[in-house]
A and B are shown apart, each in its own frame.
Chain A
């Protein structure tokens, strides 16, 4: 702990300062928003539909550019980077889980989980720090998320929704990204499965040292998080 004081301060995983965004010809949906997500922190974002949850995720993921303010990911000025640099930063540092239909249907679960390592050298390198091959890393993650070897070679479209979401989680976590963004990942699951999935996700993101931005309209899940943002 003492040595940490001497080193440069660890930048937050994500920081927004004074961010405003509006869709073309409509009122600002996000106005002067500032927030910090520290390394390893778990943030729950809730709010009714149309409140700007997805817009916020789009901003953090670098898909949308704010009209005002700045967004930094791991200290890098994400919102002012050029498109290709932003794509690279996203590929290296972000894991993304959609609401549903997360998997590329013609790839097996293992191939799906390997995708980030195929596009990002950084993710591949990080996976190779702990495992002899990226494939071994994918298989280990899948196993930890209760996707056993009997499912690895199966067509992803043949998996149940819950299994698909766990494969998506493995894919988001491979190669230890700084930040995990989950956009209503439990909305297609029943409440028992939701909680189980969330706990697995939280455990694995802690294992990977990643911060977690979790969007849901299901406020009962909020207790599992370090902080809640209501939009």
Chain B
């Protein structure tokens, strides 16, 4: 009975708080917006941070070592796996064959890059790519239509390339030399699309895959990045040439036994015939996070400041409204509301605003991720996806609610003391 009574009273107060807030909705909407903005910044930052990391990690889930010409390990990883940034030097084909023959090595995926098609990177590789490459922890690649390449001048395209450019199996495409602003068409040697890959949410979606021999074939009549003047080999004649490449850009290596990774890494690094880097993807990514860490901290600080500003706005808006609401609160007091009911009323208002802002922020964030995800994947190789909040995000949401509730206690207690001293009316 006593519990029923308390519950009834609570319900009446919640209703009153809602009705009162609705009555002042235009003022309060601005407060709601500022809390929504705080939520978008804090949760958005966390989501981008978390999902960017996991999408990077997942994109090279099964690879134990990435090998390339000696240089920066971060640059090698970004270029070899995410097709971001400029090319490092090539590594020799012989070195690749030597590593592939090592008994510790289970599989290798050679990668040859530098060409593009309408802004999408073209990657020369071999059949191992379709067998051993892993994304999203342990998913192998799958074809949504067609087959893998078998011959030169056959191409397999990623799902996004196919979707954006409207490609299907049987279509003919021309590749361009280079991947920047200025490219030159390999106009005399068209490729045929023989397969389309299923979506992976990784850089694979926006790449075009051809055989290493195809890469060699379109470059036999080129030297130093430009066609050789007066020397033109037709697409049919090129088959008479030795199309075994002399170099590749990078090599993904999977081991028989992961514990051997340091041994193999040392052997490759110590190779006397060629200066090579062998990079463990996890280590390189950790270095990358280390570089980005300070930026993350700066962004977090700004987001926190915005949140505090938003909550201070919440508190001060409710405080400022108290002056006009003295009459209303006095009437409630005269009809039997205790001072603690007035505290509840104002605390509820703060809670509603915080929760409302939170929901609005999450809604906007969801729509934004949904709308911007393709762009982010395209431009930055970051795969964002809609998902339930993570533990860290719940903690952030809980923190905002807690801080919002605490700050709304400031006007609540101001109203408490006001209603004690005002009695039943400011005029009395």
Contacts and interface: CB of A to CB of B under 8 A. Distances in A.
B326 to A, nearest CB: 11
Interface stretch (A37-45, A56-64, A190-198): A56-64
A119 B336 contact: yes
A99 interface: yes
Contact of B334 (A96, A106, A123): A96
Contacts of B424: 58, 61, 63, 96, 98
B12 A106 contact: no
A136 to B, nearest CB: 17
Interface stretch (B18-26, B220-228, B350-358): B18-26
A18 interface: no
A109 interface: no
Nearest to A90: B336
B338 A99 contact: no
A151 interface: no
B428 A88 contact: no
Contacts of A115: 331-332, 335-336
A83 interface: yes
B5 interface: yes
> Which residue of B335, B423, B427 has the most chain A CB atoms within 10 A of its CB atom?
B335
Contact of A116 (B9, B16, B335, B341): B335
Interface string B410-428: 0000000000100111011
Interface residues of A, number: 33
B9 A119 contact: yes
A183 B9 CA distance: 28
Contacts of A96: 334-335, 424
A103 interface: yes
A103 B337 contact: no
Contacts of B425: 98
A208 interface: no
Interface string A113-143: 0011011110100000000000000000000
A119 B12 CA distance: 8
Contacts of B341: 119
A84 interface: yes
A24 to B, nearest CB: 12
Contacts of A92: 336
Nearest to A171: B335
Q: Which of B12, B336, B341 has the most CB of A within 10 A?
A: B336
A119 B334 CA distance: 10
A91 B339 contact: no
A211 to B, nearest CB: 17
A107 B428 contact: no
A171 B331 CA distance: 11
Contacts of B20: 106
A133 B336 CA distance: 19
Nearest to B11: A118
B188 interface: no
B428 A119 contact: no
Interface string B220-243: 000000000000000000000000
A61 to B, nearest CB: 6
Contacts of A116: 335-336
A63 B423 contact: yes
Contacts of B420: 83
B14 to A, nearest CB: 11
A107 B19 contact: yes
Contact of A84 (B9, B19, B22, B338): B338
B335 A106 contact: no
B260 to A, nearest CB: 74
Interface string B388-428: 00000000000000000000000000000000100111011
A83 B340 CA distance: 11
B328 interface: yes
A104 B23 CA distance: 11
A87 B336 contact: yes
B428 A104 contact: no
A64 B336 contact: no
Contacts of B332: 104, 115, 119
Given A61-B424, A101-B327, A119 B337 contact: yes
A32 B248 CA distance: 107
A148 interface: no
B23 A118 contact: no
Nearest to A102: B331
Given A54-B428, A96-B424, A98-B425, A104 B338 contact: no
A149 interface: no
Contact of A91 (B19, B22, B335): B335
Contacts of A64: 423
A28 interface: no
A57 B335 CA distance: 15
B273 to A, nearest CB: 84
A118 B5 CA distance: 10
A167 B288 CA distance: 70
A105 interface: yes
Nearest to B428: A54
29 contacts: A57-B428, A61-B334, A63-B428, A83-B339, A83-B420, A84-B340, A90-B336, A91-B335, A91-B338, A96-B334, A96-B335, A96-B424, A98-B424, A99-B427, A101-B327, A103-B331, A104-B328, A105-B23, A105-B328, A106-B19, A106-B22, A107-B19, A111-B19, A119-B9, A119-B12, A119-B332, A119-B335, A121-B5, A183-B428
Interface of B: 5, 8-9, 12, 16, 19-20, 22-23, 327-328, 331-332, 334-341, 420, 423-425, 427-428
Given A54-B428, A98-B424, 17 more contacts: A58-B423, A58-B428, A61-B334, A61-B423, A63-B423, A64-B423, A96-B424, A98-B334, A98-B425, A115-B331, A115-B332, A119-B9, A119-B336, A119-B337, A120-B336, A121-B5, A183-B428
